[in-house]
Structure 1
Amino acid sequence: MIDGLWPALHRAFSASAILLSLVIAGPSPSSAASLNQQFRAWLDADLWPSAKASGVSRKTFDAAFAGISPNLDLPDLVLPGEQPATPKTQHQAEFRSPGNYFAENTVRGVTAARRNRAARYGETLAAIERNTGVPAGIVLAIWGRESGFGNAKIPHDAFEVLGTKAFLATRKEMFREEVLAALVMAERGRIAPRSMKSSWAGALGQPQFMPTSYLKFAADGDGDGRADIWNSEADTLASIANYLKAHGWVIGRDWGFEVTVPSGISCALEGPDRGRKISEWVAMGVERVSGKPFPAHELRGEGYLMMPAGRHGPAFVVTPNFYVLKDYNESDVYALFVGHAADRIAYGDRGFAGSWGKVGGLDRSDVAALQRGLERLGHDVGGADGLAGFKTRRSIGEWQEKNGLKPTCFPDASLAKALR
């Protein structure tokens, strides 16, 4: 037994030693072959043992990575020998200037075909809503946003993307878990490796599930015994709803309401950890933009102030279901887009009452510097990642109030200069 184990240990040690020496040396600009050699050594010495422990066969493993080399065109990579740095620009639309995300042509791209698809998949959507409690409009809005109702091109080889990112990305551990999940999918025969197409971030199929989400939440909506999120619309819709149900969708509650927030209410009250009964927000002077009262059952429930552009854009009181939508894609404006599009699918194409101001324009690295300045003053900004999430927005508002400024709760050039 020991005699049989030693050669395998020796091979693993030798591969690890090669990898370590190459990483220390670092590739020259022209050494793509050297980087690929490092990648291959990492696959054999590091990833393969974990895949094997997950029940993946060597045949499946080799098929998944046949002909694959690191794709250096992907964002957020750190080459061997380099140090990670905050990117200057933001690649994901969900984290750019909020107003840009709600361009009317983009929203209408999701809502324009609503009647056609609501009718075509009416029975499927009705069954899904009965089983999960998730409204049809929400499911359709996510499907439309993620893949244009299945019409968007998903061009990347998932193993090229996930393998590259597990080897070189700033979040290696996250992508390592995802590539191992993709290998388990291939081993179970869910889809052949070369047919497993993804986005540049490794998200799969029409609902854009990461592989770990597929294994946990993909559902069979057409009754054929498989969960095919690449080719089956029914499976796609059922999988989206199943994901939201599993993440705590509250049956009977809305996702949120656009509101007016009086100037006497601080924008720094934003956040899922600063909720209060919606009746309390009403008592403070918060009103729906429609002039209608909040539904009686919503008044009794908890609500949260949400101002994705601070005082420079529309304001909302959202429910716990908003944060279930945010679980699907960790972005306030993504969750808001889905809720807004779902409303337009259900009630007609009406835009926001409030307008988006001309905010943004800062580099992600500038916002990160601003966040570090706030951290030095004792504020919790949720991490200096260059993304203006709710903790950063309300920290800005708190700093502005403390310094005698009118709180706007959104980064701008003057704030970046003052807090650098």
Structure 2
Amino acid sequence: MTAKERCPCILCIVFLLAALIGLLPTPASAAKIDDQFRTWLRSDLWPEANAKGISRNTFEAAFDGVKPNLKLPDLLMPGQKATTPQKQHQAEFGSPGAYFAEKTVRAVTAGGRARAAANARTIAAIEKRYGVPGGVLLAIWGRESGFGAAKMPYDAFEVLGTKAFMATRKDFFRTELMAALEIVERGLAPVGAMKSSWAGALGQPQFMPSSFLRHAVDFDGDGRADIWNSVPDTLASIANYLVHYGWVKGRGWGFEVTVPEAVSCSLEGPDQGKRISEWADMGIKRVAAGPFPARELKAEGFLLMPAGRSGPAFIVTPNFYVLKQYNTSDLYALFIGHGADRIAHGDSNFSGRWGAVGGLHRSDIAALQRALEAEGYDVGSADGLPGFKTRRSIGKWQARNGRAATCFPDADLVTALK
């Protein structure tokens, strides 16, 4: 028997062993999960949906032929326990600079400028009503769905049903599943139109169903809020969302700055705001475009250093944290602000350069966070995400231990804190 002939048998053994230890669902176990899912729908989900006014017709139509999609991420198979992944490739775990690849940014900014011209009257009307700059709306639209070009290949009820049944955040997705049923029950969208991302987000602005119910608006005057097909409704719904979370009319998102070494990177965060004039008095200067606008000097600003000392720095306004309500990543909010600036003023990259940082597993960062917590530092949570509380805690620990404060995790730091 040749090596080529032996391979199928070896693969069979590997898959059989994987199934036995619960790493891969076998057809039998998949069928069992299907049965458990149908039982859950009938005995658990339906009574709640019925109590909330969802009709049997809507419920049956939503789940007609739906089975759990076991290929979705963040699922817990029966009997499994949640663990911190050993390796992740999201921007938060590598160099933050990877999030701002020029090809990605330019696709949003070039597409945004083209659509700004094509939709000038609509955008002007939305700006007048909501006070959110068109560049911000266009950057979000481009980032979320490629200006509506991105395909939404999933059935929202398949995604939300699977995740409400067996995801790591069941309660969150159960709430969103109920909202999706309400959308259909109220006639806001038919079952067939409920196409989503792998996370259950809907339409061109990628709203979760509960956000659709709260924030989607009819701006084109046809009598329904259509975030799947209507550009005016899509852009106005994004603006309405941002206003709901506190967008301050007349202020931008922030400014790139230089931060003197004498100013600690541990001053970062939305709970450590100062008047922008105070930051300026500490030696923080706006990059390239001259001093801070006079109208901003008395207003509050916040230090943002998403890569610590190994990347660009910013003084951001409260509007930056409104952008974070759309997606809780600092890098996402920074991408939107940066993209909006480039749409409005032309392509110009950050002056600061991203350093060679990152390359850590999420589990490494989680271990570092637990070590810092054990020493009394507030890292937010030991979730493996280097958010601002983790970054500034690193800076404080480094300063107290005679090290140069970088405010960003690295391999040496993980070793030192073990």
Instruction: Indicate whether the TM-score tops 0.5.
Output: yes
Secondary structure (helix, strand or coil) at the match of 2:366 reads: helix
Match of 1:166 among 164, 168, 171: 164
1:246-269 superposed Cα distances (whole Å, 9 cap, x missing partner) = 110001111100000000111100
Match of 2:25 among 26, 29, 36: 29
Aligned residue identity for 1:129:
E
Match of 1:376 among 371, 374, 377: 374
Match of 2:253 among 249, 252, 255: 255
- Separation (CA, whole Å) in 2 of partners of 1:119 and 1:29: 51
TM-score normalised to structure 1 length: 0.92
Instruction: Report what 1:12 is aligned to.
Output: none
1:193-252 superposed Cα distances (whole Å, 9 cap, x missing partner) = 232111111111100000000000001121111111011111100100000011100011
Aligned residue identity for 1:391:
K
Count of aligned residue pairs for this structure pair: 395
Instruction: Report what 2:263 is aligned to.
Output: 265
Aligned residue identity for 1:356:
W
Secondary structure (helix, strand or coil) at the match of 2:272 reads: coil
Give 1:72-221 correspondences, 5 Å limit.
72-90=70-88, 92-93=90-91, 96-221=94-219
Q: How much does 1:91 deviate?
A: 6.2
Q: How much does 1:29 deviate?
A: 3.4
Aligned residue identity for 2:381:
G
1:358 aligns with 2:369: no
Aligned residue identity for 1:282:
A
Q: How much does 1:283 deviate?
A: 0.2
1:399 aligns with 2:397: yes
RMSD: 1.4
Secondary structure (helix, strand or coil) at the match of 1:43 reads: helix
Secondary structure (helix, strand or coil) at the match of 2:324 reads: helix
- Separation (CA, whole Å) in 2 of partners of 1:402 and 1:415: 13
Aligned residue identity for 1:323:
Y
Instruction: Report what 2:296 is aligned to.
Output: 298
Secondary structure (helix, strand or coil) at the match of 2:314 reads: strand
Q: How much does 1:95 deviate?
A: 6.1
Q: How much does 1:331 deviate?
A: 0.6
Instruction: Report what 2:15 is aligned to.
Output: none
Q: How much does 1:155 deviate?
A: 1.1
- Separation (CA, whole Å) in 2 of partners of 1:59 and 1:244: 35
Aligned residue identity for 1:160:
E
- Unaligned 5+ segments in structure 2 are 1-21
CA contact (8 A) 1:367 1:386 kept: yes
Instruction: Report what 1:324 is aligned to.
Output: 322
Instruction: Report what 2:51 is aligned to.
Output: 53
Mean alpha-carbon deviation: is it higher for 71-80 or for 281-290? Answer: 71-80
- Separation (CA, whole Å) in 2 of partners of 1:302 and 1:131: 25
CA contact (8 A) 1:107 1:341 kept: yes
Q: How much does 1:46 deviate?
A: 1.2
1:281 aligns with 2:279: yes
- Separation (CA, whole Å) in 1 of partners of 2:375 and 2:44: 42
CA contact (8 A) 1:27 1:35 kept: no
Secondary structure (helix, strand or coil) at the match of 1:134 reads: coil
Indicate how the Cα distance of structure 1 residues 27 and 184 shifts in structure 2: closer, same or farther if over 3 A, else same.
farther
- Separation (CA, whole Å) in 2 of partners of 1:405 and 1:390: 19
- Separation (CA, whole Å) in 1 of partners of 2:92 and 2:194: 25
Secondary structure (helix, strand or coil) at the match of 2:315 reads: strand
- Separation (CA, whole Å) in 2 of partners of 1:215 and 1:363: 37
Indicate how the Cα distance of structure 1 residues 194 and 92 shifts in structure 2: closer, same or farther if over 3 A, else same.
farther
- Separation (CA, whole Å) in 1 of partners of 2:333 and 2:87: 22
Match of 1:242 among 233, 240, 260: 240
CA contact (8 A) 2:93 2:361 kept: no
1:61-83 superposed Cα distances (whole Å, 9 cap, x missing partner) = 11111111111111111112111
Aligned residue identity for 1:108:
R
- Separation (CA, whole Å) in 2 of partners of 1:247 and 1:297: 23
Q: Percent identity?
A: 68
Q: How much does 1:40 deviate?
A: 1.0
Indicate how the Cα distance of structure 1 residues 231 and 189 shifts in structure 2: closer, same or farther if over 3 A, else same.
same
- Unaligned 5+ segments in structure 1 are 1-25
- Separation (CA, whole Å) in 1 of partners of 2:122 and 2:109: 19
1:67 aligns with 2:61: no
CA contact (8 A) 2:92 2:385 kept: no
Match of 1:314 among 312, 315, 326: 312
CA contact (8 A) 1:259 1:287 kept: yes
CA contact (8 A) 1:87 1:365 kept: yes
1:146-201 superposed Cα distances (whole Å, 9 cap, x missing partner) = 01110111111111111111111111111110000001011112222232111111
Give 1:15-26 correspondences, 5 Å limit.
none
Secondary structure (helix, strand or coil) at the match of 2:342 reads: helix
